[in-house]
Structure 1
Amino acid sequence: MKYSVLFLALNAALSAPLALADDKKIEVIEVQGSYFNDYKIDDANGAMRTNTSLLNTAQSVTVIPDTIVNEQLATTLGEVLLNDASLTAGSKQRNREVFNLRGFTLSSSNGYLRDGHQHWSHYQQPIETLESVEIIKGPSSILYGQSAPGGLVNMVTKKPTTKTMLNVGADVDGEGSTRFVLDTGGALNEDESLRYRSVLVKQDVDYWREYQNGEQRARDRFLGAVVVDYDISDNTLVRFHYDRTNDKAGLDTGSWLNSAGDIIGDDKTIRDMSWAFTDITVENMGFDISYFLTEQWQVKLGYNEQNFSRQRFESSPRKPSDFVEGGTYMSKPYDRYDDWQFKTMFADFVGEFELVSMEHQLLIGVNSLDYYYGQLKTNADNFEYHSGMSEPVRPDVNYKTDDSLYTSEYDYYGFYIQDLVSVNEQWQVSFGGRYDKQNKEGADNESFVPKLGVLYHPIESATIYTSYSQSFEPQRSNTLNDDKDKNHGMKLDAVTSKQFEVGAKWQLFNERLLLTTALFDISKTGSLITENLENNPEFDTITTQSGEQHHKGFELAAQGAINDKLFVMASSAYLDAKYEKDENYEGNTPVDVPNWSASLWSRYELNDALAINAGVFFEGERFANSNNTITKDGYARVDVGATYKMSLGQKDINFRFNIENLFDAEYLAGGGEYNVTIGEGTNFRLAAQFSL
């Protein structure tokens, strides 16, 4: 295959060890421990939408490989993202996870990508299908459209293989939770032009927290995924993908805090009723096409359709402002059905050429999103409850009796261009822009955002860069609708953000360890500020679009191999985040945004069969409410683990044992005063994986 990406990758992978064996036989014989670096990945396709190395990217990007995911026996995306200190966790209520990146909340609708497709992420992601997770920091609207200024999370999925593979895994934890994973792949025909990869997962989770009737919260999840590659010709690759997730879990909307920041009641107590649940079904299906016009010019096309349906039967407990344990609180139950349909498309034209004695990597593209949401909801009678009471029976209501249907629809598309110009061996310039148009009833919007980066390479293995980028988030309406406001009818522009970033990247130890650092300054403007008007007979308020939020800080990270036996992924971050112009919170810090955070995960190989891991995850003090009157203490959690490898005939078997929160630290994780997540105490996970 002359131009196929897969062919080029396979050719490099297969030819490299042969060349090494022929030309450097002595070196091969003398290698001890790991001869590859599975902690460090040198590029992130989602950052530039092209195959560009991190050293040539004028932006801070972290890539977490599946090696670390597997070593940590991670079961949720939140456990994976814990490895980057620039990300902090928010609430985990209702069986989903919320995250903040550089202090800004990642939206379910535009904060996540899967293989470069915008991905609706209102559920716990199936991480068993991922080969890596890319954390793209700072505004990225130029390539992906409306998004928050903190950045994006791009989930890169596993791809088909030519070599037949079969991996069977099973794990169990201290609460009795189990997970079984089947991962297979290989060629489907003799010339290997048709290949596949499939993943099946069955997971049953028993959580450590309990309902007030003594029942333990549980979760039941099934995942099926398949990807098929077909080489139509030497220069055309077509990829089809399909996955389905069924995920049903009891509800836990989190614990309640008092005004001093202490947990009200027992750590294990769930305020929801035991019959409250959420039942999710998600399907993703689509295709990607890669066509090489020549060796230098390539066309990429992609389409994904996501159908997301959810039934959520809530007991909906409400915390009174003066609530103490033993007191009475109100529950407002309801049955609700949500239907999201998320269709994304993109077309990219990528070329590499020389012009005026300078090398160019040019990207011209267009992408679009078609969004639909529908909701049915039936309320039940409210009831009062206090601890010690018998649990009320589940109300006899059903969302299907709702004869109304709330809907919301919009679509948007954007055109973008980006050029990475290599002026000479030391200097590169990256620049581009995007025009974006949203079509939504009462909220039409159009925006243009630029991006500029300058890179200097003092030596081949180091980069110093500076960049400027922007992002935007359209308002829910295009005009101010309050007729009691003096500016009623005022046209509303999208909320915009801009970032200045300066950073450096340096590869050490024969390019096995990557050191990165970045200083950034992000300002978000355009939020609505409403002020009361005194002695005005006509209007009660005046609203202006002048709200501002300002986040600045720095990050330092190291990722890769120190030597043949010691591997690390470490990061630390300092963040000063403030509402600078806000009608309610001026001068305050957003919820769940610490000044300091850090993470470390490491592996040390004692010999070819046995390796040990150790990790530390730290978060400083954070506020639990926007008024900044309730503080959550900082904490440090220590995790350890070990892997033992053995062979039985032609079969490889890996055994893994992990201990999470080794010293049983007590801490509050993400969430506010009404939905805080309590950190779990010491727990263990035991896993076995068979490779055939």
Structure 2
Amino acid sequence: MKKTVVNIAVSVALLSICQAVNADVTDIETIEVRGSYFNSYKVDNASGATRTNTSLLETAQAVTVIPEMIIDEQLATTLGEVLANDASLSPGSQQRNREVFNSRGFELSSSTGYLRDGHQHWSHYQQPIETLSHVEVIKGPSSILYGQSAPGGLINMVTKKPSTSRLFDLSADTDQNGSTRFMVDAGGELVDDLSFRSVLVKQDVNYDREYQNGEERERDRFLGYIAFDYNVSDNLTVNVYYDQTDDKAGLDTGGWLDSKGELIGDEKTIYDLSWAFTDITVNNVGTKISYFFNPQWTLKVGYNEQTFERQRFESSPQKPDDYLVSDSYTSKPYDRFDDWQFKTAYIDLTGEFSTASVDHQVLFGVNYLDYYYGQLKTNADSVNFVLGQTEPSKPISYKSDTSLSTTEYDYYGFYFQDLVTISEQWQAVFGGRFDKQNKDNADSDSFVPKFGVLYHPLDSATIYLNYAEGFEPASSEKLDNDTDKNHGMTLDAVTSEQIELGAKWQISDRLLVETSFFDIEKTGALIVENVSDNPDYESITTQAGVQRHKGFELSAQGAVTSRFFVMASTMFLEAEYEKDANYQGKTPIDAPKWSASIWSRYEVTEDLALNAGIFYQGKRFANSDNTITKDAYSRVDFGATYKTEIAGVKVNYRFNIENLLDTDYLGGGGVNNVTVGGDRMARLEVKTSF
């Protein structure tokens, strides 16, 4: 029972919130007076779920929107800090200055699990969240609109748009380790019909984990972003944008666990050598053109080109079995240069029309991705190392590699969707997508359908049922193993399907309460059975793996009273490999049965507001064999904002304490790359608005 206390508390809190809101219905006029925060906490639409401007009450799918208001209140600097606000997402490894997440227990791929403004986005780095207006968590298979994707869902990062009104914010924040972040956020109208938005960030981070020579791990980041909107005419708008991220950080591949799931050695110990680092440069440039034929029909065309260059100089520490702090371990250094290039484009036609008494909101579209990856890599000889001894020097450079390993492919898809309004109470949505991947020795075609039914017992309530499918293309066209009985077998895409039953209730137009029950099945993974008693072959491979995740979610987001605002969620998950040669009956890594989160704001006065949050992750497995577990934990955060005016300039002071109770905990990651939870951390921000 101990492991579910926080989840039960959050569930009870969610029910209490509903009762409090109902009791406070007569206070609507007060809400309207103080409506700025009310509107900033609750979001009514999520464009990424349907690629149209459809309300959440007309979306037959579970979607969570994390608004900019909460991102700012939490002084978030990473996407992981943002996504902690949705219990359906559990953190994975954070090694090598990047983050991994699981959605409903399925890992999100760097190449197919993330979107930026509806474009597939290469996400192998810490995302520049200062450019985001909000983050949409789209749950369940979403291949119908975006192509290849994991069954758990997608993360759509929506960027800040140019502002027609004058905006100029300056902010600076620091923490007790001496980390600093300076930011400028500006916007406005340059001339008639031409507006802009620009963000500049300079960040230096000092971590509390240390290398063996006593040096602190550090990070140095610069971000520049600019976007323009030009209203060419009443019917035509053009948006162009560019951003660049430069991010260099020392490497920390995580802590090591023993067979009992306990951290080996000191929580501040980094096993990587002090000269190990990752240095990336990411550029995005693109445009979006919208043409309005009339109020009912719109054509949108988008293009984005993302280049991602990274040098990763690894010491690559290897954890020995039964490792003790006094033992030696092996490092296998290498220097590697990676060059990823993502070119994406889409054309969407949306429209509304009626046939008899039935209304239709339709979408016809096509999207395309061109992928290129090149790698140079030089390996060094392995070295044995004992904590505390003198570090070996950097021995190599990737520039000595005269070869270039490359991977290239492209894919495109055609999709359609129709939201049919049959009556005031009943709606249906259906659609489908044909996808084609062109890759050497791995061509893959797929068609996926989607169906949903929505019933509105009230104007402010929805009950829905949906069925959706997803796919992930095969890595090769045929099985290539001449010692396998099924050598030459044609490989199909890995597929998934979900049935979801949910309900949404918008209480008094200020609080959105949602619940959903889901059952996701992923099929088609390769199962290899080794054979030792047959002279003709050594193994038998079939494409029959089955992984099943089912559970339920409950959430509330918005204003409980005129002064109290919340974003709260909880999830129960049963995740299992139902058919697998190695892990049948096991649970995937970092897929807790229970998880929960709550973030709240209470306005003491017009100028002073308090925040409090609890983030809970239940017991999770640290290895695929399920022999090592990580304990459940609850992290408590606290914050306060005070706004004033100095010489006519608006000034906001923000003070946060993360991990207020200084709880020891382990985050995501496995036995040899687990994230060690940070100690109590105080942060202060000063922000001025002109």
Is 1:645 the counterpart of 2:651? The answer is no
Q: Find the aligned partners of 1:122 and 1:502 in 2 and give their Cα distance.
A: 33
> What is aligned with 2:482?
483
> Is this contact kept in 2: 1:33–1:608, CA < 8 A?
no
Q: Find the aligned partners of 2:29 and 2:326 in 1 and give their Cα distance.
A: 70
RMSD of equivalent CA atoms = 1.2
Q: 1:670 aligns with which of 668, 671, 683?
A: 668
> What is aligned with 2:24?
none
Q: 1:132 aligns with which of 134, 148, 173?
A: 134
> What is aligned with 1:446?
445
Q: Deviations for 1:395-441, whole angstroms, at most 9, x for unmatched residues?
A: 1x111110111000110000000000000100000000000000000
Q: Find the aligned partners of 1:656 and 1:163 in 2 and give their Cα distance.
A: 25
State the AA in 1 paired with 2:285.
M
Is 1:516 the counterpart of 2:523? The answer is no
Deviation at 1:32, TM superposition (A): 5.3
Q: Deviations for 1:566-596, whole angstroms, at most 9, x for unmatched residues?
A: 0000000000000010010000000000000
State the AA in 1 paired with 2:644.
M
> What is aligned with 1:608?
606
Match of 2:399, SS state, is helix
Deviation at 1:29, TM superposition (A): 12
> What is aligned with 1:280?
280
Deviation at 1:47, TM superposition (A): 0.3
> What is aligned with 1:580?
578
Deviation at 1:28, TM superposition (A): 8.2
Deviation at 1:534, TM superposition (A): 4.3
Matches within 5 A, 1:315-330: 315-330=315-330
Deviation at 1:531, TM superposition (A): 1.0
CA separation of 1:569 and 1:408: change in aligned 2, threshold 3 A: same
Is 1:473 the counterpart of 2:472? The answer is yes
Q: Deviations for 1:637-688, whole angstroms, at most 9, x for unmatched residues?
A: 1000000000124321100000000101110000000100010010111001
> Is this contact kept in 1: 2:150–2:470, CA < 8 A?
yes
State the AA in 1 paired with 2:609.
A
> Is this contact kept in 1: 2:38–2:510, CA < 8 A?
no
> What is aligned with 1:554?
552
> What is aligned with 1:51?
53
Match of 2:69, SS state, is helix
Match of 1:270, SS state, is coil
> What is aligned with 1:79?
81
Match of 1:681, SS state, is coil
State the AA in 2 paired with 1:183.
D
Is 1:589 the counterpart of 2:601? The answer is no
Match of 1:188, SS state, is strand
State the AA in 1 paired with 2:264.
I
Deviates more, 1:549-558 or 1:375-384: 375-384
Matches within 5 A, 1:452-467: 452-467=451-466
> What is aligned with 1:304?
304
Q: Find the aligned partners of 1:371 and 1:584 in 2 and give their Cα distance.
A: 32
Q: Find the aligned partners of 2:213 and 2:568 in 1 and give their Cα distance.
A: 43
Q: Deviations for 1:585-610, whole angstroms, at most 9, x for unmatched residues?
A: 00000000000000000000011000
> What is aligned with 1:6?
none
State the AA in 2 paired with 1:458.
P
Q: Find the aligned partners of 1:259 and 1:400 in 2 and give their Cα distance.
A: 40
CA separation of 1:36 and 1:531: change in aligned 2, threshold 3 A: closer
> Is this contact kept in 1: 2:521–2:546, CA < 8 A?
yes
CA separation of 1:35 and 1:241: change in aligned 2, threshold 3 A: closer
Q: Deviations for 1:99-149, whole angstroms, at most 9, x for unmatched residues?
A: 000000000001000000000000000000000000000000000000000
Q: 2:144 aligns with which of 142, 145, 156?
A: 142
Match of 2:457, SS state, is coil
CA separation of 1:530 and 1:78: change in aligned 2, threshold 3 A: same
Match of 1:487, SS state, is coil
> Is this contact kept in 2: 1:34–1:565, CA < 8 A?
no
CA separation of 1:330 and 1:32: change in aligned 2, threshold 3 A: closer
> What is aligned with 1:222?
222
Deviation at 1:530, TM superposition (A): 1.0
Deviation at 1:387, TM superposition (A): 1.4
Is 1:340 the counterpart of 2:335? The answer is no
Q: Find the aligned partners of 1:27 and 1:550 in 2 and give their Cα distance.
A: 47
Match of 1:37, SS state, is helix
Q: Deviations for 1:205-240, whole angstroms, at most 9, x for unmatched residues?
A: 000100011100000000000000001111111000
> What is aligned with 1:3?
none
> Is this contact kept in 2: 1:566–1:603, CA < 8 A?
yes
Q: Find the aligned partners of 1:59 and 1:103 in 2 and give their Cα distance.
A: 17
Q: Deviations for 1:43-69, whole angstroms, at most 9, x for unmatched residues?
A: 000000000000000000000000000
**Structure 1 runs, 4 residues or longer, greater than 6 Å off:** none
Deviation at 1:295, TM superposition (A): 1.2
State the AA in 2 paired with 1:584.
N
Deviation at 1:563, TM superposition (A): 1.2
State the AA in 1 paired with 2:258.
N
> What is aligned with 1:205?
205
Match of 2:40, SS state, is coil
CA separation of 1:27 and 1:589: change in aligned 2, threshold 3 A: closer
> What is aligned with 1:530?
528
Q: Find the aligned partners of 1:503 and 1:235 in 2 and give their Cα distance.
A: 38
Matches within 5 A, 1:156-171: 156-171=158-173
Deviation at 1:37, TM superposition (A): 2.5
> Is this contact kept in 2: 1:34–1:564, CA < 8 A?
no
Is 1:98 the counterpart of 2:100? The answer is yes
Q: Find the aligned partners of 1:30 and 1:433 in 2 and give their Cα distance.
A: 42
> What is aligned with 1:503?
502
Deviation at 1:38, TM superposition (A): 1.2
State the AA in 2 paired with 1:502.
L
Match of 1:686, SS state, is strand
> What is aligned with 2:125?
123
> What is aligned with 2:397?
398
State the AA in 2 paired with 1:98.
V
Q: Find the aligned partners of 2:168 and 2:40 in 1 and give their Cα distance.
A: 20
Q: Find the aligned partners of 2:387 and 2:427 in 1 and give their Cα distance.
A: 65
Is 1:679 the counterpart of 2:677? The answer is yes
The higher-RCO structure (CA 8 Å, 6+ apart) is 2
Q: Find the aligned partners of 1:217 and 1:516 in 2 and give their Cα distance.
A: 41
Q: Find the aligned partners of 2:84 and 2:330 in 1 and give their Cα distance.
A: 35
> Is this contact kept in 1: 2:30–2:562, CA < 8 A?
no
Q: Which runs of 5+ in 1 are unaligned?
A: 1-25
Deviation at 1:536, TM superposition (A): 1.8
State the AA in 1 paired with 2:572.
Y
TM-score, L = length of structure 1: 0.95
Q: Find the aligned partners of 1:296 and 1:427 in 2 and give their Cα distance.
A: 22
State the AA in 2 paired with 1:300.
K
Q: 2:72 aligns with which of 70, 73, 81?
A: 70
> Is this contact kept in 1: 2:38–2:558, CA < 8 A?
no
State the AA in 2 paired with 1:581.
K
Deviation at 1:181, TM superposition (A): 0.5
State the AA in 2 paired with 1:640.
F
Q: Deviations for 1:523-575, whole angstroms, at most 9, x for unmatched residues?
A: 00000011123432211111110000000000000000011100000000000
Q: Deviations for 1:248-305, whole angstroms, at most 9, x for unmatched residues?
A: 0000000111111111111000000000000000000010001001111000000000
Is 1:629 the counterpart of 2:627? The answer is yes
Q: Find the aligned partners of 1:93 and 1:533 in 2 and give their Cα distance.
A: 37
Q: 1:41 aligns with which of 18, 40, 43?
A: 43
Deviation at 1:483, TM superposition (A): 0.5
